[in-house]
Each structure stands twice: as C-alpha cells, then as structure tokens.
Amino acid sequence: MKVEIWSDVMCPFCYVGKKNFENALVQLPFADKIEVEWKSFQLDPDLPVEGLDMSTKDYLAQRKGMPAAQIQGMMDNLQQAGNAVGIDFKQDQSIPVNTIRAHRLIHFAQAQGKGNEAEEALFLAHFTNGKNVGDIEVLVAIAQEIGLNAEEARTFLISDAQLEEVHADIAEARTLGVSGVPFFVLDRKYGVSGAQPTEAFVEALTQAYQESQPKFEMKGGSDAGACGPDGCEI
C-alpha cells in the first residue's frame, strides 16, 4: 500500500503529523507493506531562496502583521504539541526561506531510498537548530549526514534537476483539492488532512490496507462433487 504525503519543510504541523504517522506505523503489523512517498508543497513560494534575515516569530509580526499576543499563543500551543511527540520547536530561531531547494533535496534523497531521513533532517535543521535550509552548503551537510554523497548532492543542488518534479507535486496537490498541509493520501482511496492524532492514523491506515487486499469469496453450491484425502464424494 502506498501513502503519499504532501508537506512543506516550513510547516510545523507537517513535522507533528510526521511523528504521529510514524507512531501509528509502529503499531501496525503490516507496516513493512506500506510505501511512503514524500510530495512537495510550498506555503510561501514568494520568500527569497536565500532566506530572510529574521526569525519566523519576527516574520509573522513584521510580514504577516500578526499581533504579538496571537503569535505568542501560537508559539505556546506549538511548543506543547511538539513536546508531546519529541519536537523542540524554536520559532524564535527558525529562518523563513523559500523551500524549493529543500524539496529538490528530498526528491534527490528519495530516489536513493532516503526520503524519510531527508525529511526528518530538514525539519530538525529548520525548527530546532535554526539552520537556513535554503543554503546549499547547509543542504549538502544534511545530505552527507543521512548517508548521501556530498559532492553528488552539491552538483545536484547547483543545477535545476528535479525542479519540474517539485512543481508537478504542487500542481497535483491542486488537482486533488489539497489547500493545506500535511495531507496524506492513502492508496489513492482516502485523504487524511492535518496532523491527526496517532489513533486516527492507525484507524485510517488499517481500513485502507484491509481494502487493498484481495478478497476471497466462495461461489456455487456445496453439493458439487469433490475429492479429498479420504476419497471422492459424488
């Protein structure tokens, strides 16, 4: 069964949703039958690729015009949600940036079986470690950290490789009616929107998996001739 996840590296609830989804997987006996594919989505594609010289907290105040009390309330709620799943959100350090390069790195890593590792490392770099995930050298270091070849990653990142694939993901999201992330598509049958609780993921994944399995049904009457180890019955 395939699970496609639309996400953005700058989306805090994408990080929370990832953790809840993973916590659900460890409860499922068929977890090894689930293939995960990360899909690109951008919350603010108008941000500069090099990032802003301010924190996310300042960005919300200066660029989005949000009141200080509202921002603090959001930060407190986010900190609480993060603590519950082992995330240390530091929005006073995270750097708002155009995530196009980060998405390209995820595609690069995913082609080598490291998509989930790349997603996790990018979330950690952005939300906890205050790294600029638009900076090529930061991304190269992340690639090396998860076991990818640093020079291959650098060559890839300074090119436009996989750019069309990122745009295709974003266009596909619009086609599916996805307007916010995280968004999980289960076997192209069900959609799960937002950072749902672990129990909700368990239920949805179980239902989707059961429906993906071939069903066996008996047909015909029970009085037809048949043979077994003890002989044949007519």
Tens of pLDDT, residue by residue, the chain (234 residues):
999 999 999 999 999 999 999 999 999 999 999 999 999 999 999 999 999 999 999 999 998 899 999 999 999 999 999 999 999 999 889 999 999 999 999 999 999 999 999 999 999 999 999 999 999 999 999 999 999 999 999 999 999 999 999 999 999 999 999 999 999 999 999 999 999 999 999 999 999 999 988 877 777 666 667 776 777 766
Amino acid 63: pLDDT: 85
Q: How far apart are CA 141 and CA 137, in angstroms?
A: 6
45 prior amide bond cis, ω within 30: no
CB contact at 8 A, 180 and 167: no
- Other CB atoms within a 10 A radius of the CB of residue 101 amount to 21
State pTM to two decimals. Answer: 0.90
Looking at beta carbons, which pairs linking 123-127 to residues 24 or more positions away fall under 8 Å? 123/9, 123/14, 123/15, 123/18, 123/87, 126/9, 126/10, 126/94, 126/95, 127/12, 127/15, 127/82, 127/87, 127/88, 127/89, 127/90, 127/91, 127/94
Which pLDDT belongs to residue 232? 73
Listed by start position, the domains of the chain span: 2-212
Question: What superfamily does domain 2-212 belong to in CATH?
Answer: Glutaredoxin (3.40.30.10)
Task: Quote the CA–CA distance of 124 and 115 in Å, as a whole number.
Answer: 14
